[in-house]
Structure 1
Amino acid sequence: MKHTHPLPGDIGLTRISGVTGQLIRFGQWINGDGFSDYEHAFLVLPGNRLLEAEPGGARILSLTAYADADVVYVCPERLTERQRTGICAAATRYVGVPYSFLDYLAIATHRFHLPVPGLRRYVASTRHMICSQLADQCYLDAGVHLFADGRWPGYVTPMTLYRLLAA
Structure 2
Amino acid sequence: MTIPRLLPAREVVGGYEAGYHFVMSQTKNMTRPGPTVRQLVQVAKAVGHPARLRLLAMLEGRTLCVCQMTSILELASSTVSGHLNELRRSGLVIEDKQGKLVYYRRDPSSPLAGVITDALALVNDDEAIAADRALIDRVRAVPIELLSRAGLNLAALGIKRHRARSSART
Q: TM-score, normalised by structure 1?
A: 0.24
Per residue, is there more helix in 1 or in 2?
Answer: 2
Please identify the structure whose Cα radius of gyration is greater: 2
- Pick 1 or 2: higher relative contact order, CA cutoff 8 A, min separation 6: 1
Q: TM-score, normalised by structure 2?
A: 0.24
